[in-house]
Chains A and B, each alone.
Chain A
Amino acid sequence: MSLDFSNYRDVLMGLLPELVLCGWALVLLLVVAWRHRSASDLRAAGWVAGVGLLSTALAVWWLWWNTARAAGLASMIAVDDFRFVADWLFLGAAGLTVLLSAAYLEREQLLAPEYYAMLLFATAGMMLMAGGEDLMVIFLGLELMSVSVYVLAGFDRRSPRSAEAALKYFLLGAFASAFLLYGIALIYGATGTTNLTLVGAQLGAGASAHGTMLALGVGLLLVGFGFKVAAVPFHTWAPDVYDGAPTPVTGFMATGVKAAAFAALFRVVGEAFGNAPAWHEIVWGLAVATMVGGNLLALAQRSVKRMLAYSSVAHAGYLLVAVVAGVPVGSAAFLFYLVAYTLMTIAAFGLLAAKGRRGESEVLIDDLAGLATSRPWHAFALAVCMLSLLGFPGTAGFIGKWYILVGAVSAGQTLLAAILVLTSVISAGYYLPVIMAMYMRPAASADAHGGVRLGRLGATAVAVAVAGLLYFGVAPNALLRLAGQSSITTQTPIGMSGAGPASR
């Protein structure tokens, strides 16, 4: 199916998933305007959100099935498989979050169904980011996503910590957006366009004419993205915000928000700045700093939530390695890794949310002691998540890490690959204690885990995620094929010395 963006029907067609999702979000807002008091209203809103996400996923599937492609002039929206697969990922993350939130919101008495509307809007923003072929569209998507997530982070308005998280996230996020916008302005100044394809074409023709301004623009852009993905040294907001936000929201932020920023970053560096100066070295340095910093800081945490927050910083470092590996193999590895990462992180936060009691935000690693005896399945699921986060064979996390390593080594970045694996060894130092506490220590009291309640929907979500982790860890073929076919392709592959089999 070929879409000609000079006629408005095809534009609508190309934006169909976003339109469907925004439509459902508006419907939801309308519904909750009248019904927003009781727990059953909350549940109804949850179902509407679920249906909205599902129908959007179907719309994406429809475009994907018909191999929709943009034809003609450079457009503002990309229509390619990378976008579709990324969209599925965001929708999946949002769907799992909806399932996990149900029990949590009722337990914490957060009876405000607007929660789900915000979730849908944030997801729409992510989809715009992954599909933006123009820096302005990416920025638009970023703002839509960020504003919604600011609200979500502060959703527990009776909790000072949640409010602190939201304010901190808002201030630093606004700061980061400003960086990004300024970077876009400078790039526009240097090249006369904000369209990624056109920028790429100009740079291919010879970018040296406007070197400094462009380099500054790219640098500021990277700072903005660095904030959003929480790369060291722009990560300082992440632990506090992740810690303070309601736990299912934290899971959503650690996966969806991060994934969207990375998707946009891939598109920007892949399509526009393949030939731009210096970004390669900058991202290389960021990757090393993020892997080392994230892992070392996570090592020092005693609260599980903060540990997971820092671990998500470390995972951003691994993903930056995929960025350095470049397109297409890096972006394929990125897609695969994100599927694994989303499953394991959301499941981990969901399991953690079920552990905390009402109003109790801190779960220390020691609090998990003896969980395996009283809640064997809960402990097993969390153990699988931890092993997958560690990148242990047999889980999807391993295949994902392996894919990134394949990308890095095939791009000649053996040193970076070595740093990646060495820092993963550090990560064993904080993932394993969780398993140790659950399986190898006795519970502090007989009733230590009495309050653990996941709920039927939450249990379904976790079961799906864990089954996915194990399945893709043993039989990754189908997902690998999908990721490989959906990688970003450009005429100027960067940093590719030998085309490996994975690049196809």
Chain B
Amino acid sequence: MYDHWILTALLVWPALGALVVLVAPERAAKHIALGVSLVAFALSVPMWWRFNPSGGMQFLQNVPWVPAWGIHYAVGVDGISLFLVLLTTFLVPLSVLGSYTYITKRERGFYALVLVLTSGMIGVFVALDLFLFYVMWEVMLIPMYFIIGVWGGDNRLYAAIKFFVYTMLGSLLMLVAILALYFHAGARTGVYSFDYYQILRASGDLGQAAFWCFGAFFLAFAIKVPMFPFHTWLPDAHVEAPTAGSVLLAGILLKMGTYGFLRFALPFFPSVGMHPVVQAIVITLALVGIIYGGLVAMVQPDFKKLIAYSSVAHLGFVMLGIWALTIQSVQGALLVMINHGISTGALFFLVGMLYERRHSRLIEAFGGIARVVPLLAAILTVVSLSSIGLPGTNGFVGEFLILIGAFQTHPWAAGVAAAGVIVAAAYLLPALQRVIYNPLDKKENEKLLDLTPRELAVLVPLIACIVWIGVYPKPFLDRMAPSARQFIQSVEPHLPAVSASR
């Protein structure tokens, strides 16, 4: 039973909760939202055990939606999306709890939007119908747009519209490509349907059109990731968004791009995606992202912007892991997607907490606060180290797997990426030092308060995950391996064929 309704429940429940929050009294909104998101998390947890690692797509459900066009409400998860769904349900209650004191105006609207956003994010990860996927992909734009635009910083309007237009530009072209695939598959098989597998089966012989379709998908996902030349919306959106917005943006929304590559772009068009030229371009861009993101992060005076650029670097690792196409690198990429959600999410929470205390995000506004707020300093240190990828933390496992995997197919790329780890240390450690060590030379910092129990409740689960994945990642990797292998098998056979025929 559970298997049948769980995904639908995860989609519907937060949206219903949003309605309740909208009509609730202003002061109760946050508590209701927390309750709703905790229930969603509790509902989703049994999936971890019910999931059969070797079972392919699971928790399936398929109901016709617009039969005239072959549109279905089709959902399911496999080893790739399971963790992203769980990550979503895990991060949302923390984001809500983390916003308790940060959001002070129009609380009802804020929490309702967070819950709508939850439905949209889960929808993107579970959709197995391209129409449904597209709808969810766009729908989650609106709540994020409002979250940035209404509750954001001073420059929020610019950041919000930039975020919106960038994403929309990519996704609308993807819409045309989806339609082209739909008609191609329909003409090939006689069945007009947006079903994922239907289109997957027929997408092999697209010919010239495959190039354009891949381009459209690539643009949509590369903007979302964001890959190097398309990343400019990210720092603006991250810096202006309120804490919960940044956490969900970094933790979940960015993963939609890499998820899109894994689920759609590469399995649909393996011969284009793994064409040596395309491969070289993507890997180069991934490496540029790693190094460039790190270097730019190094010179940021704003702590939040520094973390935003570090996201560009982390996601560069993910892209490298996907395109290196070995079992370790793909598993590593999947793991980094999770890790980045946890570590960077925690970093954004911490910056938000610092901001609430000091109303500044500038690194130079702090200094020596370890003596004033030891607990906060300790947690910031642990999280930073995990973001750098220190052994024993989750960051190490993921990046190490990507490096091992990439080394087998692209040794030089792995070499460059390894340098990226050093860059990560070079931007995060000095920042850490300037914030929490150094002399305590600012009067304002002498009276800072340490973490409250509520803030600890936000951070401790994240720290627990950091340590758990860092020490014992096996349960994660076991559940990912079959799906990662299947992904590689669906893409790989096209490799020799390409080099022989073209």
Give the one of B134, B145, B168, B173 with max A CB within 10 A. B168
Indicate whether A425 sits within 8 Å of B66 (C-beta atoms), given known contacts A414-B180, A440-B160. no
Give the one of B156, B157, B168, B175 with max A CB within 10 A. B175
- Among B66, B134, B157, contact of A476 (Cβ-Cβ < 8 Å): B66
Indicate whether A432 sits within 8 Å of B161 (C-beta atoms), given known contacts A417-B176, A418-B173, A440-B150. yes
Instruction: Let me know if A392 is at the binding interface, CB within 8 A.
Output: yes
Interface residues in B48-92 by Cβ distance below 8 A to A read 66-70
| Bound CA–CA A418/B179 (angstroms) | 11
B150:A500 contact, CB within 8 angstroms = no
Indicate whether A425 sits within 8 Å of B160 (C-beta atoms), given known contacts A417-B179, A440-B149, A477-B68. no
Indicate whether A440 sits within 8 Å of B156 (C-beta atoms), given known contacts A394-B139, A425-B169, A501-B186. yes
A-B contact count (CB 8 A): 87
A393:B172 contact, CB within 8 angstroms = no
| Bound CA–CA A340/B45 (angstroms) | 41
A418:B176 contact, CB within 8 angstroms = yes
**Least distance between A499 CB and chain B CB atoms (Å):** 10
Contact with B along A408-446 (1 / 0, CB 8 A): 011000100110011011001100110010011100000
Instruction: Let me know if B449 is at the binding interface, CB within 8 A.
Output: no
A436:B157 contact, CB within 8 angstroms = yes
| Bound CA–CA A235/B191 (angstroms) | 42
Instruction: Let me know if A72 is at the binding interface, CB within 8 A.
Output: no
Indicate whether A425 sits within 8 Å of B168 (C-beta atoms), given known contacts A393-B135, A409-B183, A410-B183. yes
Instruction: Let me know if B164 is at the binding interface, CB within 8 A.
Output: yes
Neighbouring B residues of A476 by C-beta, 8 Å? 66
Interface residues in B114-150 by Cβ distance below 8 A to A read 134-135, 138-139, 142, 145-146, 149-150
B172:A422 contact, CB within 8 angstroms = yes
**Least distance between B102 CB and chain A CB atoms (Å):** 17
| Bound CA–CA A30/B168 (angstroms) | 54
Give the one of B67, B179, B192 with max A CB within 10 A. B179
| Bound CA–CA A200/B483 (angstroms) | 58
**Least distance between A389 CB and chain B CB atoms (Å):** 14
Interface residues on B, range: 20 to 34
A439:B149 contact, CB within 8 angstroms = yes
Neighbouring A residues of B169 by C-beta, 8 Å? 422, 425
**Least distance between B275 CB and chain A CB atoms (Å):** 22
Instruction: Let me know if B457 is at the binding interface, CB within 8 A.
Output: no
Indicate whether A394 sits within 8 Å of B135 (C-beta atoms), given known contacts A436-B161, A439-B149, A500-B186. yes
B180:A409 contact, CB within 8 angstroms = yes
Neighbouring A residues of B179 by C-beta, 8 Å? 405-406, 409, 417
- Among A409, A440, A477, contact of B157 (Cβ-Cβ < 8 Å): A440
A439:B161 contact, CB within 8 angstroms = no
Smallest CB gap from A426: residue in B: B165
Instruction: Let me know if B187 is at the binding interface, CB within 8 A.
Output: yes
Indicate whether A406 sits within 8 Å of B138 (C-beta atoms), given known contacts A424-B172, A425-B172, A498-B187. no
Instruction: Let me know if A387 is at the binding interface, CB within 8 A.
Output: yes
**Least distance between B223 CB and chain A CB atoms (Å):** 12
Contact with A along B436-463 (1 / 0, CB 8 A): 0000000000000000000000000000
| Bound CA–CA A429/B164 (angstroms) | 10
B161:A477 contact, CB within 8 angstroms = no
**Least distance between B230 CB and chain A CB atoms (Å):** 14
Interface residues in B149-196 by Cβ distance below 8 A to A read 149-150, 156-157, 160-161, 164-165, 168-169, 172-173, 175-176, 179-180, 183, 186-187, 192
- Among B70, B168, B176, contact of A405 (Cβ-Cβ < 8 Å): B176
Give the one of A421, A428, A477, A484 with max B CB within 10 A. A421
**Least distance between A479 CB and chain B CB atoms (Å):** 10
| Bound CA–CA A480/B175 (angstroms) | 20
Smallest CB gap from B135: residue in A: A393
Smallest CB gap from B169: residue in A: A425
Neighbouring B residues of A439 by C-beta, 8 Å? 146, 149-150
B168:A428 contact, CB within 8 angstroms = yes
Neighbouring A residues of B68 by C-beta, 8 Å? 477, 480-481, 484, 501-502, 504
A436:B187 contact, CB within 8 angstroms = no
Neighbouring A residues of B150 by C-beta, 8 Å? 439-440
Contact with B along A198-234 (1 / 0, CB 8 A): 0000000000000000000000000000000000000
Smallest CB gap from B216: residue in A: A418
| Bound CA–CA A501/B185 (angstroms) | 12
A421:B164 contact, CB within 8 angstroms = no
Smallest CB gap from A414: residue in B: B180
Contact with A along B210-248 (1 / 0, CB 8 A): 000000000000000000000000000000000000000
| Bound CA–CA A441/B135 (angstroms) | 28
Smallest CB gap from A498: residue in B: B187
Neighbouring B residues of A393 by C-beta, 8 Å? 134-135, 138-139
Contact with B along A353-382 (1 / 0, CB 8 A): 000000000000000000000000000000
Neighbouring A residues of B183 by C-beta, 8 Å? 409-410, 498, 500
| Bound CA–CA A428/B145 (angstroms) | 12
B142:A392 contact, CB within 8 angstroms = yes
B164:A428 contact, CB within 8 angstroms = yes
Indicate whether A392 sits within 8 Å of B176 (C-beta atoms), given known contacts A406-B69, A440-B149, A477-B68. no
| Bound CA–CA A429/B146 (angstroms) | 15
A421:B172 contact, CB within 8 angstroms = yes
**Least distance between B405 CB and chain A CB atoms (Å):** 36
Interface residues in A476-504 by Cβ distance below 8 A to B read 476-477, 480-481, 484, 498, 500-502, 504
Contact with B along A66-100 (1 / 0, CB 8 A): 00000000000000000000000000000000000
**Least distance between A448 CB and chain B CB atoms (Å):** 18
Neighbouring A residues of B161 by C-beta, 8 Å? 428-429, 432-433, 436
| Bound CA–CA A417/B175 (angstroms) | 10
Smallest CB gap from A501: residue in B: B192
Give the one of B149, B157, B160, B172 with max A CB within 10 A. B172
Extra A-B contacts (6), CB below 8 Å, given A500-B186, A504-B68: A441-B157, A481-B68, A498-B183, A498-B187, A501-B69, A502-B69
User: Which 9 pairs show the lowest CB-CB distances between chains A and B?
Assistant: A421-B172, A501-B192, A393-B135, A440-B149, A409-B179, A393-B138, A425-B169, A417-B176, A480-B68
A binding-site residues for B, Cβ under 8 Å = 387, 392-394, 398, 402, 405-406, 409-410, 414, 417-418, 421-422, 424-425, 428-429, 432-433, 436, 439-441, 476-477, 480-481, 484, 498, 500-502, 504
A-B contact pairs, 5 of them (CB 8 A): A421-B173, A422-B172, A428-B164, A476-B66, A501-B68
